[in-house]
Amino acid sequence: MLFGLFEKKVPVYKRKDRETWEQVCRALKEEGIRHISAGHYFSDPVSPNGIGGMLDPRDFGAKGRVDRDMYYVRVRERDREAALAAMRRHGLTSIVED
């Protein structure tokens, strides 16, 4: 059956921080929280356009390409409190930034 497929999911983490996002996903998996929706998307309000739009001068600095993705983790609404408690046990905070 398709348990959890059509249930409402709420965000427990959303931020431009890949390392913490990976820790949150690992912590929720270790704690047995299921039906997690995690991913990332491009989120740069000042992306260059036009001719040469794929060449962004900010990518050629000393540290290389800048990570402009927004990382998110969503869980079922009924699992929200358990997910937040699991994150706290692992020393992580729930951050949701827009």
Tens of pLDDT along 27-65? 999 999 988 999 999 887 766 666 656 677 777 778 777
Could you tell me the pTM of the whole model? 0.80
Report how far residue 45's alpha carbon sits from residue 66's, in angstroms, rounded to the nearest whole number: 14
Report how far residue 45's alpha carbon sits from residue 30's, in angstroms, rounded to the nearest whole number: 35
Neighbours of 70 (CB within 10 A): 18
Looking at domain 9-44+64-89, which CATH architecture does it have? 2-Layer Sandwich (3.30)
Report how far residue 23's alpha carbon sits from residue 65's, in angstroms, rounded to the nearest whole number: 22
Tens of pLDDT along 11-29? 999 999 999 999 999 999 9
